[in-house]
Structure 1
Amino acid sequence: MPRPSRRSEVCATAARLFREYSYASATMDLIADEVGLNKGTLYHYYPGKSAILYELLSKQVDATLEFLDRVPAEGTITERTRELVRLQVDHVSSKHDEVVVFFQELPWVEKHLPPEQAADLRRRVRRYEHFTKQLLTAGVRSGEFRPIDVAMIMSSVVGILGYVPVWFRGATGKAQVTLVQELTDFVMNGIIAVPLAETSPPAPPKPARRSGAAAGGRRSRA
């Protein structure tokens, strides 16, 4: 029988090492040693370190683009945006090394990858950005969202998502469910429009009116 492929193990190990040492410092020799393969066998799976990086980044972009297709076409903008945020929080809370590497190395893809691969990644990232900005803009126009700076809010949400795998280590499924719910609520509460009645301070109580008899009594004693 043919020996089972260890490609997924190589990829996962590389993600951990890229996260720990950075892509520039983690070598193919180090990856081979960690996986327990000789260097020749490692090159059988990947022709070079950049091929591993491209696969890691591509998987994260593709997973995010799949979420766009899962956002309901119907419903309010608030409901659709909430679902997009929820899907992303759920994903980043379960993919630790891979997500960290994505945000860590994406700024340097033009340096580390062939031009066509770097351009392909940027194109797919722009598709996500375009979809998200359109959703936020539609929410502002409909009055469901407050008058936000769409580009700034989108970048802020992405920053929140990118930091989750740095600190979150949910030991139980319940912890992850709680995180997804709380963080989704946190993001949405920051952009939804609050009805005027909830933002206006309560009116001060009016002074009690004196009865006519009491007022008249005071006048007669004067």
Structure 2
Amino acid sequence: MPRPSRRVDVRATAARIFREHGYLAATMDQIADEVGLNKGTLYHYYPSKSAILYELLSEQVDATLDMLARVPLTGSSTERMRFFVREQVAHVATSHDELVVFFQEVPWMDQRLSAEDARSIRQRIYRYEEFVKSLLAEGVRTDEFRPLAPSTTLYSIIGILAYVPNWYRRPEDGTDDLLVEEVTDFVMGGICAAPPEKPATGARRNSRK
């Protein structure tokens, strides 16, 4: 039988090393040693350190675009934004190293990646930003959202999402639903012109210990 690929192990280990030491200080030798591969085998999976970084960044951008595609096409701006915010909070609460690396390295991607790879990431981020700003502008027009510049609100939301993986550690039995609801409520409370409507989903299941 063929030996299983170690690609997933390599990527996860690289994400941890990039988070702990920073991308520039990390080396392929260090990654190979941590995974338990010789350097030649490591290069079989990834031709360079930047190739690993590109894949890590791509995965996070694509996961966000998948959430964007699930946003309902109908409903109020508040309902649609709450759905999207909750999806994003749930995502950042279940990932750690990969998301820390994403927010840590995206500002430097022009220095870290090839021009083509950086452009690919930037184009996908642009799709995300334009969608959110459009939804925010729509909510302002319908008087559901506070009359703030969409860019101001967008980057404030991103700032909140970016910091969650730095401090939150999910319980071993899965995602903390209460945390997801609390952060979503906090974000929506800052967006909405009036106290945001709460979805009729029944009592919250988890309690904070």
Q: TM-score normalised to the size of structure 2?
A: 0.91
> What does residue 188 of structure 2 align with?
188
Partner Cα separation in structure 1 for residue 56 and residue 185 of structure 2:
29
How many residues get paired?
195
1:194 to partner: Cα distance: 2.0
> What does residue 25 of structure 1 align with?
25
2:112 alignment partner AA: H
The answer to whether the aligner puts 1:79 opposite 2:46 as a matched pair is: no
Partner Cα separation in structure 1 for residue 32 and residue 78 of structure 2:
47
Q: Percent same amino acid among aligned pairs? A: 62
Partner Cα separation in structure 2 for residue 46 and residue 107 of structure 1:
23
1:146 to partner: Cα distance: 1.6
1:173 to partner: Cα distance: 4.8
Q: CA RMSD in A?
A: 1.1
Q: Mean alpha-carbon deviation: is it higher for 54-63 or for 164-173?
A: 164-173
> What does residue 132 of structure 1 align with?
132
Cα deviation code 1:102-124 (max 9, x no counterpart): 00000111111110000110010
1:160 alignment partner AA: I
> What does residue 205 of structure 2 align with?
none
CA contact (8 A) 2:57 2:106 kept: yes
Partner Cα separation in structure 1 for residue 172 and residue 19 of structure 2:
24
Q: Mean alpha-carbon deviation: is it higher for 25-34 or for 174-183?
A: 174-183
Cα deviation code 1:162-207 (max 9, x no counterpart): 0000000122557620111000001101111128xxxxxxxxxxxx
Cα deviation code 1:20-53 (max 9, x no counterpart): 0111010000000000000000001000101000
The answer to whether the aligner puts 1:149 opposite 2:152 as a matched pair is: no
191 and 173 in structure 1: CA distance in 2 versus 1, 3 angstrom threshold: farther
Partner Cα separation in structure 1 for residue 187 and residue 130 of structure 2:
19
1:150 to partner: Cα distance: 1.3
1:58 alignment partner AA: S
> What does residue 93 of structure 2 align with?
93
CA contact (8 A) 2:94 2:175 kept: no
Q: Mean alpha-carbon deviation: is it higher for 65-74 or for 174-183?
A: 174-183
The answer to whether the aligner puts 1:65 opposite 2:86 as a matched pair is: no
* Bigger Cα Rg: 1
SS in 2 for 1:190: helix
Unaligned runs of 5+ in 1: 196-222
2:89 alignment partner AA: V
Unaligned runs of 5+ in 2: 196-209
Moved over 6 A (4+): none
- Name the structure where helix makes up a greater proportion of residues: 1
Partner Cα separation in structure 1 for residue 117 and residue 100 of structure 2:
20
Partner Cα separation in structure 1 for residue 57 and residue 86 of structure 2:
21
2:181 alignment partner AA: Q
> What does residue 170 of structure 2 align with?
170
Partner Cα separation in structure 2 for residue 157 and residue 138 of structure 1:
17
CA contact (8 A) 2:15 2:101 kept: yes
Partner Cα separation in structure 1 for residue 173 and residue 89 of structure 2:
14
